[in-house]
Structure 1
Amino acid sequence: MSMVEGVDGRAMQHCETTALGVLLRHEGLDLSESMLFGLGSGLSFIYWDSKAMGFPFLGGRVKPFELTRNLATLLGLELVVGETTSPRKGWQNVAALIDAGRPVGLQLDSYHLDYFSTKVHFGGHVVAMYGYDEENAYLVDTAPQGGAVTTGLAGLARARAERGPMTARHRSFTLTAPGGLPSPQDRIIPAIKTCADAFLNPPIANLGHRGIGKAAQQVPKWLERSDDPGEDLPRAAVLMEKAGTGGALFRNLYRDFLAECAQLIDSRHLRTGHSLYGEAAGLWSQVAALVAAAGASGEAADLVQAGSILHDLSRIEREAMQALSML
């Protein structure tokens, strides 16, 4: 058995921020989940649909691992990433670090993890690993998945080797604060402005505030888009509200980040952004409830109302990011 000593396995709502929290606390840097998410410029929006997909996907954050890269760059942390096509080498990369007393982040497909409550393929899942024995790996996952958990080594190997959307090749990573602990407070404004700029100037129409506008047009047609609305629509609602998003498609996390920032920085632009994201968070929860209701009833009226709220959200979030871009 090999176990990293002194790991604080505090579980959070979202997978990547949970793993980052474990790694950074081991380095002596203890930040709230909302601060990790915000400093990583994690908020985004994507409306993703293609002929190959059974049903559209609404995403509320930047793509997997981008948050980690953003956070490391912003705080001047040393991010060391291991990737390989070899399962044997992938395991050696991880075991050597744990043997040396370092917790390790892993990106993998949650489908193969023993403890996962819902068996769906998601290749962008991130966990922290802090130990192993002959049969099991010792991980920290989100609070909804159980926090400090174990999974069989064979399943872990399959999860790391899986190919498909958002997967990575046996990706493992560590974070180090090489020049002493950074001061996150000094990096708040650059992180917010980076996030706002990407949101306001998306390269394609299904991202950022334009993507929310596209969702407003498409969601009212979801009953016709689905082969099984009774299953697809409630699942879409759960993905918005519960699947590691912290609620309201990550808007609760960003609202709380802006609230924390407003206590540190006196800025009317920041207060405006916080107020508008508070409004947006409540509206996203309404959208999720309406989508779930339409799945249960088969009534298009709920989706029409959801589309109307999404039009409002496109405007509200654009105004919020415009205010925040002026910091």
Structure 2
Amino acid sequence: MKIENIKPFNGQHCETTATGTLLQQIGIDLSEPMLFGLGEGLGFIYWNMKTMDFPFIGGRIKPDLLTQNLARNLNLELTVKETSSQQKAWDQVKELLDDGQAVGLKMDCYHLEYFSNPFHFAGHYAAIYGYDDENAFLIDTRQQCGQVQTSLKSLARARAEKGPMASKNLYYTLRKTDIKFDLEKAIAAAIRNNAAEYLNPSITNISYKGILKTSIEIVKWFNTSKNIEGEFKQAAMLMEKAGTGGALFRNLYRDFLKESYELLQLDPLKSGYEAFSEIAELWTNVSQLFEKVSQTKEIQYIHQASDILKEISGKEKRTMEILTTL
């Protein structure tokens, strides 16, 4: 069984791709940068736990929040459900599919059979649009080839996996309400909200404070790492290529601000776009330096990356302050 005439969203980031597919099914067709921006998606986190192989550097807000923000800003009805029962979790999704409703799933991509280089990450999203006796048919990112399939057994494992960022077989749907959205007002509200959240971090390892902290922590990481080559290579890949849209999501936010300026013609948006154009290049420089670290094991590249991170922290803080004036 497959939902007929499903239009796959062609995206680079997993949550915007899954949610974008659900939106297109209900007649809302927006660009990926616009979805990321309306979801108030820009953020930062440096996360290091003893149970982790190496620190995680993330450039967006917490998993699940992006779609919640997007639904609020577009006046949509978002239904999110979790259950510890794998059978119940599948039965509920199957019922929605049988009714012609595409469904967003949150999973650990390690178990998905179409991933050529599987790794544990339990904050991965895809949209499911069909199934047969053995397989599930999903829509994933451009990097994962869009329309893909995986066995029902592997899907169950992916949905039920535990660990950082995991949920209990989480799935979600989106529906229109009687209240239509005003895109221009939604854009301005989303930017102000994202900027305010960014400028008021609750702890020092997130937002611009987290970037500044990371500039110090990566030196400690280098000095204590048991696998410099593997860890910094993986970190560089996650920052630049693994569904971030490049430059740790800054390319997506840059393009969102450009699209917003073209629509609203407000000076803070132009300033923000120009600033994030520079900031995105700096993030790419950091990932390139991480690559050099993995290749050479030379600490000089860590110190160069540290200096750039200090610069990024200040630039992002100043730019978000400008965007609060919308």
Normalised-by-shorter TM-score class:
over 0.9
- Deviation string for 1:2-36 (max 9, x for gaps)? 21122101321000000111000000000000000
Give runs of aligned pairs for residues 1-327 of structure 1, distance below 5 A.
Answer: 2-179=1-178, 181-327=180-326
- Say if 2:37 and 2:191, in contact at 8 Å, map to a contact too: yes
For the residue of structure 1 that corresponds to 2:44, the secondary structure is: strand
Give the Cα–Cα distance (whole angstroms) in 2 for the partners of residues 184 and 162 of structure 1: 37
Unmatched runs of 5 consecutive residues or more in structure 1: none
Q: CA RMSD in A?
A: 1.0
Give the Cα–Cα distance (whole angstroms) in 2 for the partners of residues 87 and 191 of structure 1: 35
Give the Cα–Cα distance (whole angstroms) in 2 for the partners of residues 181 and 157 of structure 1: 36
Post-superposition shift, 1:217? Answer: 1.4
Give the Cα–Cα distance (whole angstroms) in 1 for the partners of residues 13 and 303 of structure 2: 30
Give the Cα–Cα distance (whole angstroms) in 1 for the partners of residues 263 and 128 of structure 2: 33
Post-superposition shift, 1:273? Answer: 1.0
- Say if 2:75 and 2:180, in contact at 8 Å, map to a contact too: no
Give the Cα–Cα distance (whole angstroms) in 2 for the partners of residues 52 and 135 of structure 1: 34
Give the Cα–Cα distance (whole angstroms) in 1 for the partners of residues 264 and 180 of structure 2: 20
- Deviation string for 1:184-230 (max 9, x for gaps)? 22200110011101111101111111011111112233321311001
- Deviation string for 1:72-105 (max 9, x for gaps)? 1111100111211111110011000010011000
- Say if 1:28 and 1:181, in contact at 8 Å, map to a contact too: no
In the alignment, residue 50 of structure 2 is paired with which amino acid?
K
Give the Cα–Cα distance (whole angstroms) in 2 for the partners of residues 268 and 15 of structure 1: 31
Report the TM-score when normalising by structure 2. 0.98
For the residue of structure 2 that corresponds to 1:206, the secondary structure is: coil
For the residue of structure 1 that corresponds to 2:4, the secondary structure is: coil
For the residue of structure 1 that corresponds to 2:265, the secondary structure is: coil
- Say if 1:29 and 1:181, in contact at 8 Å, map to a contact too: no
Give the Cα–Cα distance (whole angstroms) in 2 for the partners of residues 246 and 219 of structure 1: 23
For the residue of structure 1 that corresponds to 2:130, the secondary structure is: strand
Task: Figure out how many residues of one structure are paired with residues of the other and give that number.
Answer: 326
Give the Cα–Cα distance (whole angstroms) in 2 for the partners of residues 47 and 80 of structure 1: 30
Post-superposition shift, 1:270? Answer: 1.2
Give the Cα–Cα distance (whole angstroms) in 2 for the partners of residues 125 and 64 of structure 1: 9
- Say if 1:107 and 1:127, in contact at 8 Å, map to a contact too: yes
Give the Cα–Cα distance (whole angstroms) in 1 for the partners of residues 136 and 51 of structure 2: 34
In the alignment, residue 154 of structure 1 is paired with which amino acid?
K
For the residue of structure 2 that corresponds to 1:278, the secondary structure is: helix
- Say if 1:11 and 1:148, in contact at 8 Å, map to a contact too: no
For the residue of structure 1 that corresponds to 2:157, the secondary structure is: helix
Give the Cα–Cα distance (whole angstroms) in 1 for the partners of residues 100 and 52 of structure 2: 42
Which range is displaced more, 215-224 or 111-120?
215-224
In the alignment, residue 59 of structure 1 is paired with which amino acid?
G
For the residue of structure 2 that corresponds to 1:3, the secondary structure is: coil
